[in-house]
Structures are given as C-alpha cells and as structure tokens.
Amino acid sequence: MNGSVGPMRVLVTGGSGLVGRAIERVVKKEGEEREGEEWIFLSSKEANLMSAEETRAAFEKHHPTHVIHLAAMVGGLFRNMRQNLDFWRYNVFINDNVLQAAHEFGVVKVVSCLSTCIFPDKTTYPIDETMIHNGPPHESNFGYAFAKRMIDVQNRAYFQQYGLRYTAVIPTNVFGPHDNFNIDDGHVLPGLIHKTYLAKKEGKPLQVWGSGRALRQFIYSLDLARLFLWVLREYDEVEPIILSGTRDVFDIVFLVGNGKADGQFKKTASNAKLRKYLPDFKFTPFRAAVKETCDWFVANYDAARK
C-alpha cells in the first residue's frame, strides 16, 4: 500500500515556505510530477490554519486526497526562547485543525513535518525514531517541540481509532533557497549566510554567535523535497522516519563564541531507517548545497525573507 487511490490531489500546507517551495520546484520544474497527480500549494495568505473554519473551507475548496503538512509557526533559537507559549499554542491549533479536517474530508494520507528538536535533551546518540517520547526536550524550545511531538501522538490515535495512514518525517536542520535569512530570528545557517554577506559588503569582521561547541546536522531543502515525494507515495508506516544525510558530511560547529546561547548541544540523528528503505539515495554534497543557497540569496537579496 502506498496511500494511492488512483488520481492524487495533493494539498501542501505552508506551500510558500522553504520546504514548500522546494517541493514545488522538484514537482513542477524537475519533472517529478506523475500522471494523475495534481498539486496545490497553499499559503497563509489563502487560509489561516489557526482557524478551524478557514481550514475546513480550504479543504472544502480543494478536496485533497493527500496532504503534505508543512505549515507551522517557526523560528530560530532566540525567538523560541522568547515565545515558547506562542509556539505551543499556534502549532497545536494548526496541527489539530489540519489533521481533523483531513479526517473529515476523507484524506487518504497525511505526511507532516516534525523536527529533531522534538527529541529528549538528555539522551544517547545517535537518536532514532523510537526515542521521541523518552524525556522532555531542551528547555529553549519546549513549546514548539511538544507541539510537534503531539502530531506523532495524533497520527497514532487516528490509526488506532480510524485506521488512517497519517505519518510524519523528522528532518534535521533544513536550509536552501527561500529560507528565512533573518539574523535574529532565523535558523543558524541562513543567519550565517546573511551575516557573511553583510560582513563582506561592509568590510567588517564576521562575528558568529555561540560557544564553539554546539553541533548540528543539515539537509538541503531540495533533497528533503525529493524524500517527501517518496514518503507520500511509498512509505507505509504510521511511525515517523528521520530524514538526514550522513553525520560526517552534515555536522558543523559554531565557530566563534561571544556569550550567546547554544541551545541543545547536539541532536545527532541516525538515518539507518531511511537507508534501509533507500540505500542508494544520493544527497547533494554539503558544500554544493551551501553554494547554491548563497548564490540564490545574493541573486534574490531584495526579495528574500530577512
């Protein structure tokens, strides 16, 4: 079973964001759209998914058979630290509205997007899919992390009660074209790209926040998009799956310390389950992915989110 019921009408929430734009590029420009598939990319301008009424109206309008659920309130470390309550409430509302509307409108399959920040702060490494609920997440972003964990709880409950094949993916830190390059509230890599751009333009030293000890794994948004298509079409488990490249390629270190918080020290995730299914999947080399992202940011500086 691959969640297919003949023609697929796929609704992508968060369709104008980093991952949504990557999926749109892979589907529309790289020729990955299959015969019998129709793709709708829904932005927040078209529907406020915090509203149950607007969410139902979007499902009534588009009548999807499948959903890729990307919409979320997201932000970098420092915004999470300031707004844990907002991250909890906004995301719980969005996720419940989307999953319940999917159920009410007979959606065959939903693939939601989680994050490695959902894993326990105190754990063993590498982390894997069985460890999500083994302890509390890091205190810096507990609101967002617990809200995302609840998607896994809901998926299991929809399967237990209704037999629905709703599932989720857990990517490591995503980056790529159309990212949020805000220095204060964005994620680490787009923030570094923007800082480097300004330092070079203004002829000033580059200052990198953090202690120099924290580690992160990354996945290029276009690689993630290609994996999303595989999960939607082929992955049959309700249990989530980590989407990550190899540790050796994707770990980097914050380079310079200046007293700023690190957040969770590391979140090194195992991709053993992914490799069991797709042993030959080729990730974009990290340096090439960073260069493509930098080139896009420079070429689209005025329009880029920042």
Burial group, residue 167, by CB count within 10 angstroms (0-12, 13-18, 19+): buried
Residue 31 DSSP one-character state: S
Specify the amino acid at residue 133.
Answer: H
Q: Which domain does 22 fall in, by range? A: 8-175+218-247+268-284
Q: Print pLDDT tens along the chain (306 aa).
A: 444 456 899 999 999 999 999 999 999 999 899 999 999 999 999 999 999 999 999 999 999 999 999 999 887 766 778 889 999 999 999 999 999 999 999 999 999 999 999 999 999 999 999 999 999 999 888 999 999 999 999 999 999 999 999 999 999 999 999 999 988 777 788 888 999 988 888 998 888 776 666 677 899 999 999 999 999 999 999 999 999 975 433 344 444 444 454 455 577 899 999 999 999 999 999 999 999 999 999 999 999 888
- For the chain, what is the domain count? 1
Contact 152, 240 (CB under 8 A): yes
Q: Which of 90, 125, 144, 162 is catalytic?
A: 144
Residue 303 DSSP one-character state: T
Residue 293 in domain: no
Between helices 142-162 and 84-104, what is the axis angle to 10°? 20
Q: What is the pLDDT of residue 4?
A: 47
Within 10 Å of residue 203's Cβ, how many Cβ atoms? Answer: 6
Cα distances (Å, whole numbers) of residue 139 to 56, 81, 119, 187 = 34, 8, 12, 17
Backbone angles phi, psi at 68, to 5 degrees: -105, 115
Distance of CA 63 to the CA centre of its chain: 24
Told to judge if 144 belongs to the known catalytic residues of this protein, a careful annotator would answer yes
Q: Specify which residues 41 forms β-bridges with.
A: 12
Backbone angles phi, psi at 123, to 5 degrees: -155, 180
Query: Residue 20 maps to which CATH number?
Result: 3.40.50.720
Q: What is the pLDDT of residue 298?
A: 95
Residue 269 DSSP one-character state: B
Residue 259 in domain: no
Contact 221, 25 (CB under 8 A): no
Backbone angles phi, psi at 212, to 5 degrees: 95, 0
Residue 294 in domain: no
Q: Specify which residues 68 forms β-bridges with.
A: 12, 111
| Pairing assessment for the beta strands 109-113 and 165-171 based on DSSP bridges | parallel
Residue 203 in domain: no
Q: How many CA atoms lie within 13 A of 283 on its CB side?
A: 23
Residue 37 in domain: yes
Residue 77 in domain: yes
